[in-house]
Structure 1
Amino acid sequence: MSNRRGGIIYFAIDGTQYDAKGNFTYNLGAGKREAIVGADAVHGYKETPQVARIEGEITDSSELALSALIALDGVTVTLELANGKVVVLREAWYAADGDGQTEEGNLQVLFHGKSAEEVR
């Protein structure tokens, strides 16, 4: 068993790898539980759906068309973590604003999807 927990990651859309940059976040889309508090006590909780997502930044390149990236829909997005876990987001669409930054060529990526799972 490896002791590595963080560090190198890989980000891909429909099998095409992109240059991942910095910290990525993900959510499997499980129900979110919120307390229901009455005047007398905690009565229980309610559960509402969350959107499955993968979010982070990639490095821009001359071969990457931002217009094509923001038009993506119905894709499979994978995030391979340093600890060996792989997060797969299915039936996903680009959901970010399409912002790019010039200092280091950062492009924001946010994909929402119908489902997500951890594999491996």
Structure 2
Amino acid sequence: MAAKRVAGISSITINGSSFALVDGLTYSPSSVRRETMTGLDGVHGYKELPVAGFIACTIRDINTSVADFNGMTAATVQLIQANGKQVIGSLMWVVDVQEVDASEGTFSVRFEGVDVVEIF
């Protein structure tokens, strides 16, 4: 079997603009969370609740207005991963606040939304 790249080099664009991606790139296209329901007499089944998909990462603060991220509410976020897979989130909003680590010139951002898809 030939070796192929499966992880590593990745890129991110937000509303069509590229950003300096540092690390911590994670995503979830999941739309539900299931929890097993048990009682004193055994397993009864499960409950299912909706969850938002997400795309999160750490970005280098280069030619970037960190304050602008806090106002993002209908963003399109696109990842291209080392293995060629693309992840696209539409109409996403930023959760949490952005805190800059001045010693590294980085900040973390997490987008959530209901439309996160993987394209192979």
Question: Which residue of 1 is the match for residue 9 of structure 2?
Answer: 8
The structural deviation recorded for 1:2 is 6.4
Query: What's the CA shift string for 1:1-41, capped at 9, x where partnerless?
Result: 86211101101101111011112111113211110011111
C-alpha RMSD of the superposition: 1.4
Matched, 1:38 2:22: no
Query: Which 4+ stretches in 1 moved above 2 angstroms?
Result: none
Identity %: 30
Asked if structure 2 preserves the Cα contact closer than 8 Å seen for 1:29 and 1:115, the reply is no
Question: Which residue of 2 is the match for residue 118 of structure 1?
Answer: 118
Number of equivalent positions:
119
Asked if structure 2 preserves the Cα contact closer than 8 Å seen for 1:21 and 1:57, the reply is yes
Name the SS for the 1:8 alignment partner.
Answer: coil
Matched, 1:95 2:95: yes
Q: Output the CA distance in 2 between the equivalents of 1:55 and 1:2.
A: 28
Q: Output the CA distance in 1 between the equivalents of 2:96 and 2:19.
A: 16
Distance 1:7 1:103, change over 3 A: same
Name the SS for the 1:118 alignment partner.
Answer: strand
Provide TM-score, normalisation by structure 2: 0.92
Asked if structure 1 preserves the Cα contact closer than 8 Å seen for 2:31 and 2:114, the reply is no
Matched, 1:52 2:50: no
Q: Output the CA distance in 2 between the equivalents of 1:11 and 1:34.
A: 33
Provide TM-score, normalisation by structure 1: 0.92
